Amino acid sequence: MRNVIILGSGCAGSTAAIYAARAGLNPLVVVGHEPGGQLFLTTEVENFPGFPEGIQGPDLVLNIQKQAERFGAEYLYGGVQEADLSKRPFRVSIDGNWQECRTLIIATGASARWLGLPNEQKLIGHGVSSCATCDGAFYRDQKVMVVGGGDSAMEEATFLTRFASEVTLVHRREEFRASKIMLDRARANPKIKFLLNATVDDVYDVSQNMVTGVKLRNLMTGETWDQEVAGFFLAIGHIPNTKPFVGQIDLDPDGYILSKGGARTKIPGVFHAGDVQDRIYRQAITAAGAGCMAAMEAEKFLEHEGH
């Protein structure tokens, strides 16, 4: 029986682990299917306080983990598949092994959204990517495509022009969710071509195990055509990782945890931290702050319960 299990090893989960471990709660951190969370897919983080020269995303999150381990936090590789929050102790299944805890901190984050194209998943890592900062450098002097109309799409398209000879930005309508400054920056970049009112029907070529092109469709006319690209980047938002908790805690229509104030969910003893609840700020520093809050609330809860 654990005092606290923390689900997720991103900035939120590992900061919760520092606080919980330092409070002597001997937390178990379940690393999750994306160890280190989204920071692990980033390059330079320039806005995390305390690093005047910036820090690489993976270094930042691994440092936080090391700091938590220094105080005795234990990290377990695996992901949560099921949870039973109907009674205490809470139970979570980590790749088939059930673990029990008095308090649970859900810091499972959010994962990139995919289009669901027939060949998309088969070509992930072979030209299909959700992370321009991770994979952009592979496309020096090649043509690439970015899908999306939000800030992420503008940021990724602009970033990719450092390497690619041409970036086609495909968006399904004419209006953008992106902020004006980021849209203007992308529009002013001569390497970025905008393709609006269009969608991608599929990506080629599985038989060669690499991306060679995509099938496009004009959403106004229905016309379809093929375009050659070497890299295909998705920037169409994220999905919160809350599947094991559906029907147990309150979620909003998109699946983000609905907070009951502070780090509380509707179940006493179950807390949230980071992007799994936050659809607005989504920053490393806000996730870290949320992890701190969740651990302090778990500690207070355990103390109140006499543990």
- Least distance in angstroms from the C-beta of 45 to ligand NAP: 12
Q: Which two tokens stand for residue 298?
A: 């778990």
Closest listed residue to residue 65, CA positions, set 142, 10, 125: 10
Q: Which two tokens stand for residue 168?
A: 């086609």
Q: Which of 59, 95, 101, 135 is catalytic?
A: 135
Does 254 interact with ligand NAP (rule: CB under 6 A)?
Answer: no
Q: Single out the segment in contact with ligand NAP by CB under 6 A; choices: 3-11, 27-35, 85-93, 143-151.
A: 143-151
149 HSE (CA, 13 A, CB side): 14
CA distance 289 to 283: 10
- 278 is a catalytic site residue: no
CA distance 127 to 139: 9
- Least distance in angstroms from the C-beta of 55 to ligand NAP: 17
Does 236 interact with ligand NAP (rule: CB under 6 A)?
Answer: yes
Nearer to ligand NAP, 278 or 299 (CB): 278
Site string for ligand NAP, 85-124 (x = CB under 6 A): ------------------------------x---------
244 HSE (CA, 13 A, CB side): 22
Does 240 interact with ligand NAP (rule: CB under 6 A)?
Answer: no
Q: Which two tokens stand for residue 143?
A: 């043509």
Among 162, 173, 187, 307, binds ligand NAP (CB under 6 A): 173
The gap from C-alpha 78 to its chain's centroid, in whole angstroms, comes to: 17
CA distance 209 to 251: 38
Active site residues: 131, 134-135
Binding footprint of ligand NAP on the chain (CB under 6 A): 115, 147-153, 155, 172-173, 177, 235-237, 282
